Amino acid sequence: MSSTKEYLLDTHRLCDPAQTMERVRPHLCRMGITRIANLTGLDRIGLPTVMVTRPNSRSVAVSLGKGLSLEAAQVSGVMEAIETWHAERIVRPIRRESFAELQSEVAVADVSRLPKVTGARFEPHRRILWVEGRDLGRDAACWVPLEMVDTDYTEPPHGGHGAFPRTTNGLASGNDTTEATCHAICELIERDATTLWHHGQADTRIDPASVDDPRCRDALNRLVGAGLDVGLWDTTSDVGVPSFRCMICEAGHVQGHIGIGDGCHPDRAIALLRAVTEAAQTRLTYISGARDDLDPSEFTTEAVAARGRYVRHLIVGAKPARSFSDAPNATTDNFEDDLSWLLERLSCAGMDQVVTVDLSRPEFGISVIRAVIPGLEAPHDDPDFIPGPRARAVQAGAA
């Protein structure tokens, strides 16, 4: 059955935000979601942003959502909260084995290419917990370390290993499995691309005048009209899936909160729009202080000024060298075609193993997927980040 896209405004979904909200609303109480609050008016930009609270969360208690309409922003935040709830309560088959034992019986993710973390080392003969996923390229079962999927941060990693990142990177939800899978894969590609761009600092600034998509132009005009300086960068990596970074700061000085956003999608206009709206969302996150994972030290005068100097230096210090149309672009009518294209792009870049763990529960009818792609880099701003081969190669080339 084809996953035909019916909603194409600020993201691609099977149905519009109102239909999605109607489907998920009956389950919000069960998942501990107590409040959906509109944060938009706390800033002067006007791009809709909301916060969604889960007070008894086992990870972060506040999720953020953004979109071109308040309804779209609400669904964005709610779906983020829903997917994290699922990842805190995994019901997939789990095994406790060493890598050496497990790989003799079943297919296992290539652990040598998974991201590493500071202060830990993978031991192939140590027994840890693994969760069953599916290798999309081979259409067969494949097992991955549970700690890369589980988001219950109220206790140490299950199995006590701690050799791999415990994040929500690659976690996504959707109206069906293919839609959720595409969003999960795009997030992993985006974080990898941003990490490579950070280590290489390539001259990929985009001329904002070259942005021809009316939705993106309207969002950019809102930022400029609010008295903010804006910088856009094409961060697309060798994978070849459109990725962008947007940075905003107060025009002319370093005081005031900044915003940084990243976006990735086969359709380059959606990718850029995600980056722009996320930059506005990030700025509102600082203004509101809503996220419970923000450290109080981030709100000192010195910290605010330091972030402002960093963003202002990048915006002022780089001249636009690229056109928006230079970025690759792939537009399709359904998610099956998106998924095939994404898998092809990954394979061409050397990522032949794409594993997804289906965290969905039949009683809710909401698809939740955690994707794991050996070979891609983890986010560079994770506190325990260790550069992998791709980041080290880019860094060496930029030296």
Q: Which helix (H) or strand (E) holds 247?
A: strand 243-250
Backbone angles phi, psi at 325, to 5 degrees: -70, -10
pLDDT over 60 at 300, yes or no: yes
What domains, with CATH codes, occur in the chain? 94-146+155-173+332-396 (no CATH), 208-323 (3.30.160.660)
Residue 285 reports pLDDT greater than 90 = yes
pLDDT at 2 over 80: no
Of the candidate ranges 249-253, 296-300, 330-334, 374-378, the one whose mean pLDDT is the lowest: 249-253
Mean predicted confidence (pLDDT) in 6-26: 97
pLDDT at residue 281, as a whole number: 98
Q: Name the percent of the chain lying above pLDDT 70.
A: 98
Residue 141 is predicted with a pLDDT of: 98
134 to 11, 141, 185, 261: CA distances (angstroms): 26, 4, 14, 30
Render pLDDT for 353-394 as a digit per residue (tens, 0 to 9): 999 999 999 999 999 999 999 999 999 999 999 999 999 999
Helices (H) then strands (E): counts for the chain: 9, 12
> What percent of the chain stands above pLDDT 90?
92
Per-residue confidence (pLDDT) for residue 1, from 0 to 100: 55
Residue type, 20: T
Q: Which whole number is the average pLDDT over 307-317? A: 92
Query: pLDDT tens across 55-83, in order?
Result: 999 999 999 999 999 999 999 999 999 99
Helix (H) or strand (E) holding 174: strand 171-174
Closest CA to 322 of 186, 189, 202, 191: 202
- Give the residues across from 256 on adjacent strands: none
Residues 199 and 396: their CA atoms lie apart, in Å, by: 9
Residue 317: per-residue pLDDT: 86
Q: How many CB atoms within 10 Å of residue 246?
A: 28
CA angle, corner 264, sides to 292 and 111, nearest 5? Answer: 75
pLDDT at 206: 97
CA-derived radius of gyration, the chain: 20
Half-sphere exposure of 269 (CA within 13 A, CB side): 16
**What does the DSSP 8-state code read for residue 10?**
S
C-beta contacts of 100-104 below 8 A and 24+ residues apart: 100/124, 100/125, 101/127, 102/130, 102/143
Which residue shows structure tokens 């009518």?
A: 333
pLDDT in the model for residue 155:
84
Q: Is 162 left (phi over 0), alpha (psi -120 to 50) or beta?
A: left
* Per-chain mean pLDDT for the chain: 95
Give the pLDDT band (50/70/90) at residue 232: very high
> How many angstroms separate the CA atoms of 311 and 259, rounded?
9
| Total residues found in the chain within this entry | 399
Q: Where is average pLDDT lowest: 65-79, 262-276, 287-301?
A: 287-301
* CB distance 281 to 49 below 8 Å: yes
- Is pLDDT of 320 > 80? yes
Q: What are phi and psi of 284, to 5 degrees?
A: -65, -30
